[in-house]
Structure 1
Amino acid sequence: MTAKRTPARQRLLETADRLFYTEGVHTVGIDRVIEEAGVAKGSLFYNFSNKDGLVAAYLAGRDESRRKRVARHLEGLDDPVGKILAVFDALQEVVSAPGYNGCPFANANAEAAPGSVEAQALRTFRGWLADMFLALAEEAGFVDPADTADRLRLLYDGAVANAQLDAHPGAVGLAKELASMVLQASPRNVLQAKG
């Protein structure tokens, strides 16, 4: 019985994910991705149209993975404050993994033109992150959920940057500790604060 060969689309995505994340979207040429994926050049154009299509698919895959990871960390939690802090646990999982190289969206966007697929992916991710923190702050009953969410996002972003720039995965634990302090200091509506 012969082993089933991985489809060209999947091989291209897996190779792009590895190369784009470790070396950079703008550094890695499409010919290298094609060669390392072991596919014909036509496979790229059939599956993604061009490099932008492949970059968009790579970033969409990273976005989906991040959302699933956060959802997994929130699963089974009832306490809204616990849910907020669990977002930092999901981040800790990422920054502690071998090969952590920062935020794939920010990295890809660093040299991208405004309106590019990289810029769009960054806006999509940032919108999701902002909406998630806001929804959790509203669920927790904070009097000013937008302000609380902004503070949490700033701590999250700082942890991402510090973990990469200073190779300091412990930054996430510190950010989670500070987030807990922010949550304790932020006024909550009486009924939700008791729940």
Structure 2
Amino acid sequence: MPTSAARDRILDAAFRLFYARGIKAVGVDLIIAESGVAKATFYKHFPAKDELVLAYLDRVDDVWTGQLHAAAQAAGPRPADQLVGLFDALSSSCRREGYRGCAFINAAAEAPPGTPVHDRTVAHKQAVLAWVRGLADEAGAADPDALARSLTLLLDGGLASGALDADPEAATQARASARILVAASSG
């Protein structure tokens, strides 16, 4: 869909509000008020709230996936190092002001299975799992599927723990655990 200044303002407001308050707690009228657009303009860009939620999740996906990839690449060229390094994205996220955990886990908790919003959260998690699985394979893991699943569970647990107990050190422990799992996986 082509972008416009009004669409961007709507999406910016939704991004802030959905993450801070939750998707169900934020109504269209509040997003319209916060974005400063007319109701007709809002509905021109997003005929239904779910369409806005999907656009929000797409934006979150772009940001989070970018952070994961950047953290992995910053760890160096070796896939094994990248598997551990991707946890640095977790560390920076958990320390962010207003951190409320994983936007996808939060959205999944609010959307019934089988809905487009829930399906989008599942697609994101599957894409991260596939990427990590690819790195695990490149790293020579004896069982890339098991390593990828373990690491993504650890990543999701770190995201949740960082929000639930408000302890940014959860990310440090998750990274240390990832290092152990990666080292043990080389068979």
* TM-score grouping bracket, smaller chain normalisation: over 0.9
Q: Any idea what the Cα deviations from partners look like across 1:72-98, whole Å, max 9, x if unmatched?
A: 223362111111111100111111111
Aligned to 1:138: 137
Query: What residue in structure 1 maps to residue 14 of structure 2?
Result: 16
- Equivalent residue, structure 1, for 2:156: 157
SS of 2:86's equivalent in the other structure is: helix
- Please report the TM-score for the alignment, with normalisation by the length of structure 2: 0.93
Q: What are the ranges of 5 or more consecutive residues in structure 2 without an aligned counterpart?
A: none
Work out whether residues 103 and 160 of structure 1, in 8 Å CA contact, stay in contact via their aligned partners in 2: yes
- The alpha carbon displacement at 1:71 in A equals 2.2
| 2:101 aligned counterpart, secondary structure | coil
Identity of aligned residues (%): 37
| Structure 1 unmatched runs, 5+ | 1-5, 189-195
Aligned position for 1:193:
none
Work out the number of aligned pairs and report it: 183
Confirm or deny that 1:45 pairs with 2:36. no
Query: Which residue number in structure 1 is paired with residue 117 of structure 2?
Result: 118
Q: Distance in 1 between matches of 2:111 and 2:73?
A: 35
Task: Measure the CA separation in 2 of the matches of 1:143 and 1:167.
Answer: 35
Larger radius of gyration: 1
* C-alpha separation in 2, matches of 1:176 and 1:33: 37
Aligned-partner Cα distance in 1 for 2:182–2:107: 32
> Secondary structure of the equivalent of 1:75?
helix
For the 8 Å contact 1:55–1:117, the answer to whether it is kept is: no
TM-score (norm 1): 0.89
Once residues 160 and 74 of structure 1 are traced to their aligned partners in structure 2, the CA distance between those partners, rounded to angstroms, is 17
Query: What secondary structure is seen at the aligned counterpart in 1 of 2:110?
Result: coil
Q: Is the 8 A contact 1:44 1:50 kept in 2?
A: no
Per-residue deviation at 1:99?
0.8
Counterpart check, 1:27 vs 2:25: yes
